[in-house]
Amino acid sequence: MTVAAIDPARLPGLRRRIIWTLFAVSALGSTGYIAAITGGTLAAAEIAGSPASGGLPTAISTLGTAAAASLLSFLMLRVGRRPALLLGILGGTLGGAIALGGVLVASLPLLLVGSALAGFANGAGQLGRYVAADLVPPERRAQTIGTVVWGATIGAVGGPNLIAPAGVVAESFGLPSLAGTYLLTLGFIGLAALIALVFLRPEPYQLADPSALAPHPEGTAPVSLATILRTPTVLVALVTLAAGQVVMILIMTMTPLHLTDHGHGLETVGFVLSAHTFGMFALSPISGRLTDRFGGPRIIAVGLVTLAMAGLLAAGAPADGGPLLTLALFLLGYGWNLGFVAASSMLTAGLTLGERTRIQGVGDGMTWTSAAIASLSSGFIVAGASYAALGLLGVGLLIPPALVLLAHRRAVFMGRPA
């Protein structure tokens, strides 16, 4: 079915409904997912009896997100956006139930399996930003991506801060306090699945903006994946997405354990992580507007500088945290957001709908696989060195994307803004 098969008068309303459905899925799914990765660090360390295991749930859930990005993009090209997104969100609901069982029976393998499936919901939610971008003209794509990412603000603020009260509720039923974390995961991702099932219709491919449907020039073959990957805007976008995710995950993953090791409770962990995730999501509409106004490459540069500042502040913050660490985690989140929105918008430009679906899945797969390695490594770095070392390492890892941006500055800055 094509766009032409739908009454043109209905298209604006249908597109708005899809965008706001994706916003709701992002909001609810991120609440469950962020609660899971925040509490997962503590649950894994408690079950395994070692801080080195604290990074495992985040690493595994990140690998689940990477696998989902590749698998769901593959399915989108064959069965459509809607079935693929629903599969990912339902997988996350199942993951919340399995992880809850892992906490109840103190089983690290079950906790990790559940964490991996929770990552499927996150992968689906992340791909939702691209689905929304396809519904609008090029000059509004970054702003639309920012709107969907903005939905995760609810999860950013609510997820970490709901951990403590959810723990109290769990204990009132005779359950371990950390079981409350996965009750949140199960409930919120399950609600996201229900909303997607009801409102994510018709198939978003049928509603795509005409500019996204432009065919290849007559007589030419589809562009190969290797050729797409060599395009300067695509290369800069992919390197930015991967590096920003790695630096953010590297530092963020160990922050809850760093705080609890210095005597802070779940309330403090929730507050600091809320500042971080607020920076990650709350200002997304501003990031989108800035990208549409000044272009993706310039906003990427600002994002890299902001991430470097965050790494330096995290490395220099007092051992017991305090306002300086809270500021560092906020800047870590917002630096990531600037690069994430700007680089995502660059992956929507100059490609047909099928090509961009392929490269977006590949890009998110690469990004989240790299982040999983960072998450897995973070616990060992803290155990062998210190939390401050994570901050300094993060600054060093920002050098490659900066060099790639400089190397291709003529091509990306002289091209279209996003």
> Would you list the DSSP string of 245-309?
HHHHHHHHHHHHHHHHHTT--HHHHHHHHHHHHHHHHTTHHHHHHHHHHH-HHHHHHHHHHHHHH
Cα atoms in the Cβ-side hemisphere of radius 13 Å centred on 133: 31
Across all residues in the chain, what is the average pLDDT?
86
Task: Judge contact between 235 and 350, C-beta under 8 A.
Answer: no
- Percent helix / strand / coil, the chain, rounded to 5: 85, 0, 15
Q: In which residue are the tokens 């590749």 written? A: 70
Structure confidence at residue 412 (pLDDT): 80
- Which among 120, 74, 18, 67 has a CA at the least distance from the CA of 359? 74
In terms of average pLDDT, the best of 82-91, 206-215, 253-262 is 82-91
Residue-wise pLDDT for 213-229, tens only, equals 655 554 455 678 888 88
pTM for the model stands at 0.84
Task: Judge contact between 149 and 126, C-beta under 8 A.
Answer: no
- 384: amino acid identity, one letter: G
- Give the rounded percent of residues in the chain with a pLDDT score beyond 70: 92
* Lookup: tokens for 52: 């080195």
Structure confidence at residue 264 (pLDDT): 67
- Which among 294, 280, 252, 263 has a CA at the least distance from the CA of 382? 252
Residue-wise pLDDT for 53-96, tens only, equals 777 887 788 889 999 999 999 999 899 999 999 999 999 999 99
Q: How far is CA 216 from CA 180, 209, 356, in A?
A: 51, 16, 13
C-alpha 226, offset from chain centre? 25
Q: In which residue are the tokens 């906790």 written? A: 111
Q: How confident is the model at residue 135 (pLDDT cuts 50, 70, 90)?
A: very high
Class of domain 7-210+224-414: mainly alpha
- Which among 150, 155, 159 has a CA at the least distance from the CA of 256? 159
Cα atoms in the Cβ-side hemisphere of radius 13 Å centred on 125: 36
Is residue 267 pLDDT above 80, yes or no? Answer: no
C-alpha 107, offset from chain centre? 27
What is the average per-residue pLDDT within 310-315?
A: 92
What is the average per-residue pLDDT within 233-247?
A: 93
What is the average per-residue pLDDT within 108-123?
A: 93
Lowest-confidence pick of 98-112, 118-132, 365-379, 394-408: 365-379
What is the average per-residue pLDDT within 301-309?
A: 97
Structure confidence at residue 228 (pLDDT): 86
Rounded-to-integer distance, Cα 42 and Cα 46, Å: 6
What is the average per-residue pLDDT within 40-58?
A: 81
Task: Judge contact between 3 and 208, C-beta under 8 A.
Answer: yes
Rounded-to-integer distance, Cα 348 and Cα 418, Å: 8
Is residue 4 pLDDT above 60, yes or no? Answer: no
- 160: amino acid identity, one letter: P
Q: How far is CA 197 from CA 90, 100, 175, 190, 390, in A?
A: 10, 24, 31, 11, 41
Task: Judge contact between 141 and 19, C-beta under 8 A.
Answer: no
Contacts of 335 (CB under 8 A, 6+ apart): 244, 248, 279, 303, 304, 305, 306, 307, 308, 309, 310
Residue-wise pLDDT for 335-383, tens only, equals 999 999 999 999 877 777 888 888 999 899 998 888 878 877 887 887 7
What is the average per-residue pLDDT within 229-234?
A: 89
What is the average per-residue pLDDT within 158-174?
A: 85
